[in-house]
Structures are given as structure tokens and as C-alpha cells.
Structure 1
Amino acid sequence: MNNPQNEQNPQNSGKNPPAINLPPVVTALVLFMVLLHFSANLILTDQSLYRFFLTFGFAPVRLQYAPEMPGGVGALFWTPFTHGFLHADWMHLTFNMLWLAVFGTPISRRYGPLGFAVVFGLGLIGGVIGYMLVHHNTTGILIGASGAVSALMGGALRFMYQPLLKEIDEETGEVRILGRRLASPSELVKDQRAVGFTVVWMGVNLLFGLFPQLMGMEGANVAWEAHIAGFVAGFFAVAWLERRLF
């Protein structure tokens, strides 16, 4: 059985709560992505912006033509990560930043900045693998933090529906909140809320891929395979973090 970890911020009595109660690492990442998107669209022309995406976004075709593409062979090593900091438009960015705030916050509070970075990074890599398996011979460019955000979602699912564990101090009678225990996959299967959340989320992404017309857009516009692969990566990454960081 995994030890419960407290993903809650300590409560400071006598102080007004901040207007935005996000962990510093989440706030910094959101601000960086917003600033990067704003600067790129302000400074670059449409042609140079496309080249920017081609240099730092992940393109499966680079595996075959790396020397001829912007960034050369070196881009094979950085694009699996840098693609996650680029976004196609403000709607794409806003959606990802909202979900980053929602699911990145509990992951950061439970595992700290290092643990957050591990889940985020593995989500980026998982998303690239999922995208490449489906689009291994195409010229499409994968950009966006969706794979990493999905990993944060998959990781948070492991504990967000678990009840809060408490203990009572024998001397003072004070009730202390210990946090939520990490649930095993077999335990989550028995939790209707966790199963419902997963089924709906997976189902929507599969609809994007299998029936893009039904969803009102082309399937290539939504990297559904990166979402699913990132989710799986985060789901299993947090179990490793529980053993390694605590």
C-alpha cells in the first residue's frame, strides 16, 4: 500500500489567501508559454513562424530527412520536448493553460517542482511516441502542451478521487490532514467516478481521431493520439515517483 502524501498547501493563519493560488512552477510555466506565444506572433512573419514551428515542433518526417530540415540532426533531440511549449493560436494556448492549472496544481503540490517536471516531461515524450505511431510517415508538425497536460491529468486521476486521510494527535486532539493515498489501477477500476472520467475523456479523443467530421473538425487538427499516450505516461509515472521521491 502506498503511503498517503499531502498535496495540500500549508494553511497560514492570519494571512489573506493569494488571488491566484497556483504553485510557483505552474505559474512560471504558464507565464513563459504565454510570453513565448505573444512574442513569436508579434515578431515573426507567417513564413518565419512556420519555420520556427518546423525547427522546434516535432515532425515525424524528420526521422527520414533530418539533415535537410531546419535544426538538422540536433532537432531530433530537442523537438520531443520543445514542441510542448509552442501553440497554434490563442485558443489552443488558453485551453492548454487552463488544464495545466487544473491538473498541474495537485501534481506540483504532491510531488514538488521536480516531480511536476518529471510527469510533464514524460507526457511530452509519451505524446510524441503516440503521435509518431499514427503519423510516422507524414509531414504534420506536432505542437502544444496537450500530451504533457494529459500526463498531469492521468497522474492526478490516481489520487484525486481518493478520500482525505486524517489523524488525530493523541495529546492535543488536533485533527491533521494527511492527504490522499495513491490508488492502484485495480482500485480505480472499482471507482465509478474514475472510470467515468477516463471513459469520457478517452472516448472524446477517439471520436476526434475516428470521426473528425462528427466532431466538427479534421482529425489532424487535434493530436488525439498524443493526448492518450501522454495520459498513460502520467498514469504510471506517478507510481514511480511515489517510490523514488518519498
Structure 2
Amino acid sequence: MATEPPVLSEHSGEPPQPREPVFNFPAPITLSILLIIGLYVLPAYLLPADLSEAFVISLAFSPVRYVYPLTGQNLEWLWTPVTYSLLHGGWEHLLFNALWLAAFGTPVVRRIGTTRFVLFWIVSAVAAAILHAVLNWGEVTLLIGASGVISGLMGAACRFAFPASGRAYNPQFGHLYPRQSILSAFGNRTVAIFIAIWLFGNLVIGLGIPLFGDLGGAIAWDAHLGGFAFGFFCFALFDPWEKPAR
């Protein structure tokens, strides 16, 4: 089959370069953002007040559930350590998390694939919920939001997205950088600075000083720590790459 020659630029005499789309997210990230938007819109705008409250309570995580015998309860204790991560308390809370999910979820998805990403979401949500429950044992509070999972994605990205060589992150090929060991990551100046700033921000939040305004209620800094620690220390369990692709 005959093919036509490429159209040349009248200025440079070279084939025009394809333009990168402004929003180039993997499908799992796009679907995740649409899912959390849908699960916010449904109770906030489409359900009656009583059903909306029941919907949120049935999906939100609460430490008080685990004080009482599980056999005498409904099964909310089983799924809420994951489903809470899909709920949000307001548009500002939702959009803030969607932004960071796109930023840190994109390289992780491209590296580990859809199935591992779903598993990573589930386990990092549970890890964040466990630390929150331990530090708030028996309290009648509701934990919602994807911040614990996003913190896990940040921790995972610290293991590969910041090259040890000091090169800048490449959005196209950065997910193929070699995974750094835990000690190497701590020795990476960029990673160390990132973790220090992240920990400082959560320390400030833990002291009750808001950094980003009202995001729909008190911020569960302890869930952030649980998610980040899981993502950073356990990322190798989900990482299929030992060496960068050629």
C-alpha cells in the first residue's frame, strides 16, 4: 500500500511534532476520579437527607465499630476500611484529592498496571484506616476521603519517581526508572526533602493548623501517615519492575 510522505513544516522543513494532550491520565485514574465524584454527588444532591446520611455512615470508617463484638453488627466493619476512601466531605475536599490522585497515581498506575493499582488502593486504604483506628480507638468519628490512599501513592512514588542520579522526573518515561531500595531512597536528597516537607505539613495539620482552608472537616493526619508508610515500605510487593525498560 502506497503511503504519502509526511507533511513538512513550512518554517523548519521537518515533520511537525505530535502534541501531547493537556490531560493524559491512564484509564484507572480517570475512572477513579469519576467514581469519587459520583459517590459525592449521589448522597449530596440525589438522595433525600435521611438516605444520604445512612449512605455515608454505611460506607465511612469509624473506630467505634471495633470496640463491640463484630458478630453482633452488620457487615459495615468489613467493607468500611476501604469504602471510606471513596467518599468526600465537599467539593474542595474532592477536587484537592482528585488533583493529587492524578499527579501521583498516574506514574504508579503506569508502572504497576490496573490490577495491582486496585490492590494497592485497597491495602493502602486499610493501612491508613488501621493507624487511624489505633490512635483514635473507640471514638465515634467518621473517616472519609482518599487522602490515605494518595499518601500511599506518594510513598510509592518516592521509591522510583525521583531518580537517584539527580535527573528531573520525565512524565513520559519516569515510571520506568529503577526502583530504589529503602536505604537508597532515604539517601536520595530529593526524596529526603520531599518526605521532610510532607511530614512537616502533616505535623502542622496534627497541631490543628489548617494549611489549605476548610476541606470538609478535621483532617486525619494519622491516616496520611499510615498510608504513606505502607506505600513507601511495601511498594516492592506491587512493583513488577526490577530494571528500567530499554
| Category of TM-score, reference length = shorter chain | 0.7 to 0.9
* 2: CA distance, partners of 1:159 / 1:243: 12
**How far apart are residue 115 of structure 1 and its match?**
1.8
State the 1:82 CA deviation.
Answer: 0.7
Q: 1:48 to 1:178 in 2, by over 3 A?
A: closer
Deviations 1:27-49 (A, max 9, x none): 01101111221122112344433
- Bigger proportion of residues as helix: 1
Deviates more, 1:183-192 or 1:138-147: 183-192
C-alpha distance in 1 between matches for 2:241 and 2:26: 22
After TM superposition, the score normalised by the length of structure 2 is 0.79
Q: Which of 173, 186, 195 is residue 198 of structure 1 equivalent to?
A: 195
Q: Is the 8 A contact 1:163 1:180 kept in 2?
A: no
Output the CA distance in 2 between the equivalents of 1:43 and 1:242: 40
Aligned equivalents of 1:200, 1:45: Cα separation in 2: 42
Give the alignment of 1:163-202 within 5 angstroms: 179-202=176-199
Distance 1:189 1:131 in 2: 25
- Structure 2 residue 19 is the aligned partner of structure 1 residue 22: no
Q: Which residue of 1 aligns with 2:220?
A: 223
- The answer (yes or no) to whether the contact 2:159–2:180 under 8 Å persists in 1 is yes
Letter aligned with residue 52 of structure 1: F
Give the one of 36, 43, 47 matched to 2:46: 43
Partner of 1:87: 88
Partner of 2:147: 146
Deviation at 1:161, TM superposition (A): 0.9
3-state SS, counterpart of residue 67 of structure 2: helix
Give the fraction of aligned pairs with identical amino acids, expressed as a percent. Answer: 31
Out of 58, 61, 67, the position equivalent to 1:58 is 61
Q: Deviations over 1:179-217 (max 9, x none)?
A: 3111111112221111111011112112211x2157677
Alpha-carbon contact 1:122-1:234 (below 8 Å) kept = no
Residues in 1 aligned to 2:54 and 2:71: alpha-carbon distance in whole angstroms: 13
Give the structure 1 partner of residue 134 of structure 2: 133
Q: Distance in 2 between matches of 1:153 and 1:88?
A: 22
Q: Deviations over 1:157-185 (max 9, x none)?
A: 11111158xxxxxxxxxxx9993111111
TM-score, L = length of structure 1: 0.79
Matched-pair contact (CA < 8 Å) for 1:26–1:100? yes
> Is the strand fraction higher in 1 or 2?
1
CA contact (8 A) 1:119 1:237 kept: no
Is the partner of 1:73 in helix, strand or coil? Answer: coil
CA drift of 1:66 comes to 6.7
What's the offset of the Cα at 1:127? 0.8
> CA-to-partner distance for each residue in 1:126-153, whole Å, 9 max, x for gaps?
1101110111121000111111111111
How many residues are matched? 219
What 5-or-longer segments of structure 2 have no aligned partner? Answer: 1-15, 166-172
CA distance in 1, matches of 2:38, 2:97: 14
